[in-house]
Chains A and B, each alone.
Chain A
Amino acid sequence: MSVEIDVRGLSCPIPVVKTKKAMENNPSDTITVLLESQVSKENVLRLAENQGYASAVEQTGNEYKLILEPAKK
């Protein structure tokens, strides 16, 4: 299962809050986060690291897609 959240254009710390909420509601799912600011990207990646998620980043133009995999399925 995979959950996608779109936080493009939302300012800090909303992207982190929404990602955290998605993690809490779907603990065993892959979370895909769409965002467009460097700052939000770093904040969400730090959250993922703290929560034990493995992360991959895809960049298209100014936008980023973060794919966050929970440690244990």
Chain B
Amino acid sequence: MKNQKYLMIIAGLVFGGLAAYMTKLGNPGNMGICVACFYRDIAGALGFHQAAVVQYLRPEIMGLCLGAFLAAISFGDFRARGGSSPLVRFFLGMFVMIGALVFLGCPVRAVLRLAGGDLNALYGIAGVVIGAMIGIYFLKRGFNLGRANSTYPIAGYLMPLIMVVLLLFAIFQPEFIHNSETGPGSMYAPLIISLLVGLLIGALAQKTRMCFVGGWRDLSLVKDSYLFSGIAAFFVGALLVNLLIGSVNIGFEGQPVAHTNALWNFMGMVLCGLGCTLLGGCPLRQTVLAAEGDTDAGVTIFGLIVGAAVSHNFILASSPTGTGLFGPTAVIIGLIFVCAIGYFMSEQLD
């Protein structure tokens, strides 16, 4: 158990360091890795939304999933399974993305933004923690999404296979793929480096079960710091690399791909953190689970992608100038939906 924790700390440091360094190699500011933003960029590249500034097939995502898949196969952790409320998970995934895009980042990027000096991230992280606390209330009350069953291996191979197809699209760039010419979507590291970094992080995340919501959850739920040590190490790794490359800029104003609306930075991440707690993991963890054969996590990923499309098509997503026109309304609707799921999908524990 001790060795496992050391591995988690090393994995966190490596992940954080690489996430910070990827900005030097071309990725957007404080967005070396952002699982939510990168699914959003993929949704744009596939033409699911028309926000011209955030369209790019991010090879980090394909790398994450395939790295986790290879690790799961190597260590005998791959097990095809599914059937635990897939439709509900799809909608939870959608609202997780909507919340993340009101803040402008997933629970991973919230920590990464803070490590770059973006103090707006404090509101986002506070939101994740409060969201996790509300989730714990439902968990203790008996919330669960039902049992999953083992299924045919081929069903478990589907998500890794889809990632291979996306990777081929990224390499060969067929005409139907969109690529941003300006904005964050036009900023990216070389494909091969993005892919390799993704593969490495995916394998580490699979082996350690790293989760950027589970870490906060377990601190309170079971007084266990194993998952949290990954978040803390990620922050330290990212901060050190940011200091080395001169990317620490402390303040609220003028932060890269961020806005300064404290209330909605907070509320967006309450929605995201709560949704992730009910799903059992953040978007990073969902990607790893999908790679291990969890088809419900695969459905959740499509929820994230549709959530990204909805966010941009319905003017929900924030931009550096502030929240989207309907962003706050969507967060409130999302909170009502997610709380209703938490409340009603509960078996009363004795």
The CA-CA distance from A38 to B72 in the complex, in Å, is: 12
- The residue on A at minimum CB distance from B217 is A13
Q: In the complex, A12→B221 CA distance in Å? A: 12
**Which residue of A is nearest B149, CB measured?**
A9
Among B140, B150, B221, B222, the one with the most A-chain Cβ atoms within 10 Å of its Cβ is B222
Within the complex, the shortest CB–CB distance from B312 to chain A, in Å, comes to 30
B contact residues, total (Cβ < 8 Å) = 30
Pair B140/A50 contact, Cβ less than 8 Å? no
Q: Are B144 and A10 in contact (CB under 8 A)?
A: yes
* Interface of A, helix, strand, loop or mixed by DSSP: helix
* B29 partner residues in chain A, CB cutoff 8 A: none
For B4, the chain A residues whose CB sits under 8 A away are: 42
Closest to B223 in A: A50
Asked, given contacts A16-B221, A37-B79, whether A11 binds B148 with beta carbons under 8 Å apart, the answer is yes
User: Which single residue of chain B is at the shortest CB-CB distance from A37?
Assistant: B79
Please, which residues of chain B bring their CB within 8 A of the CB of A62?
Answer: 79, 150
B62-86 CB mask vs A (1 if < 8 Å, else 0) is: 0000000000000001010100100
Chain A interface, number of residues (Cβ within 8 angstroms):
22
In the complex, are the beta carbons of B1 and A9 less than 8 A apart?
Answer: no
**3 closest A-B pairs by CB:** A9-B147, A14-B144, A11-B280
Q: Which residues of B contact A (CB under 8 A)?
A: 1, 4, 77, 79, 81, 84, 139-140, 144-150, 209, 214, 217-218, 221-224, 226, 280-281, 294, 296, 349-350
Apart from A10-B144, A11-B148, A25-B350, list 17 A-B contacts with CB within 8 A. A9-B148, A9-B149, A11-B296, A13-B218, A14-B280, A16-B222, A17-B140, A18-B349, A20-B222, A21-B349, A38-B77, A42-B4, A46-B1, A46-B224, A46-B226, A47-B222, A62-B150
